[in-house]
Structure 1
């Protein structure tokens, strides 16, 4: 069962440098274009359905990509981005002490930001979603449309790196990664 991971298209807040977490902003024109390209590229993957985060930016990406794919779309809160608590919706110039903790997120599991979710908590729900997929749809090809930090934590977890590490970069908006490729170590 190939599972393909994709980050949602660019949003207005991505463009402005505002941290989204569980908050949303609309897709930019570029984000909509990335979603259309995703749909075109994904045609070659023989997909059976799309599973996307319940956050609007992921759902909008799925809907636009699906104009080409014509697949069933399922929604899951387990694919939600990491909750960055009080830092969500803020620009770099706001609450600098919390941005320092955000910038050091690759050094520890927990963040000293009120209401922020730990990397291990993200992994628990992500791992649950992946196990459920494997148990219920082992013979189907799936496209997961989610979020950058969520995907980085999944990549770390699958390869047994510290969940909070910066070993894997956050993918670009609209990038597709095959889960099988993540599990094969480079030669």
Structure 2
């Protein structure tokens, strides 16, 4: 059995840069109309899960797209922002379009679908992300609703489920869904 409390994880809604396949990393762009709709869907899912969840802490990444999503999801309820929940820093790849990176850096983009995050020049890499995610999770004292980012959400799941970091590429993450990790097991609500 895992040592972490129940987690209800959400990726921020679609952003303008997501729609353009532009890599955000630590930069930001606003939610699209679809992104706001996805956040409203997450709000409904959270309301439906509330009888199972009970009292819960609410957190969001300090980045604008996650805060904007959290404001919709939590509908006036207070939440804390935490810098440890921000997206992985992708260094020199920040702001680039994915299709351009694949062409300009074939040696990095030839392997598994998400391995490139661990090789981005000037980036944080998985070890740095794992360290800050563990520090955040170690401080939790009870169940938590968390709005974060795609790679960070995968890392939180891997740590909470005690899986090797090499498996994060196998983990689906959907915008508009709630990913529950309870007693070391994952369940997605859509």
TM-score for both structures, normalised by structure 2: 0.81
How far does residue 173 in structure 1 lie from its aligned partner after superposition?
1.0
Give the match for residue 131 of structure 2.
Answer: 124
Instruction: Report the 3-state secondary structure (helix = DSSP H, G, I; strand = E; otherwise coil) of the residue aligned with 2:170.
Output: coil
In the alignment of these two chains, the number of paired residues is: 177
How far does residue 53 in structure 1 lie from its aligned partner after superposition?
0.2
- Separation in structure 2 between the aligned mates of residue 153 and residue 130 of structure 1, nearest angstrom: 11
Give the match for residue 26 of structure 2.
Answer: 22
Query: Unpaired runs of 5+ in structure 1?
Result: none
Give the match for residue 85 of structure 2.
Answer: 79
Cα pair 1:153 1:164 within 8 Å, conserved: no
How far does residue 93 in structure 1 lie from its aligned partner after superposition?
4.1
Cα pair 1:79 1:146 within 8 Å, conserved: yes
Instruction: Report the 3-state secondary structure (helix = DSSP H, G, I; strand = E; otherwise coil) of the residue aligned with 2:167.
Output: coil
TM-score for both structures, normalised by structure 1: 0.82
Work out which of the residue numbers 55, 63, 69 in structure 1 matches 2:71. 63
Give the direction of change, closer, same or farther, for the CA distance of 1:82–1:2 in structure 2 (3 Å limit). Answer: same
Query: Unpaired runs of 5+ in structure 2?
Result: none
Give the match for residue 160 of structure 2.
Answer: 158
Work out which of the residue numbers 52, 58, 63 in structure 2 matches 1:50. 58
How far does residue 168 in structure 1 lie from its aligned partner after superposition?
3.1
**CA deviations over 1:150-171 (Å, ceiling 9, x no partner):** 1112222333433143453240
Give the match for residue 3 of structure 1.
Answer: 7
Supply the RMSD in Å over aligned alpha carbons.
2.5
How far does residue 65 in structure 1 lie from its aligned partner after superposition?
1.5
- Separation in structure 2 between the aligned mates of residue 175 and residue 107 of structure 1, nearest angstrom: 24
Instruction: Report the 3-state secondary structure (helix = DSSP H, G, I; strand = E; otherwise coil) of the residue aligned with 2:140.
Output: helix
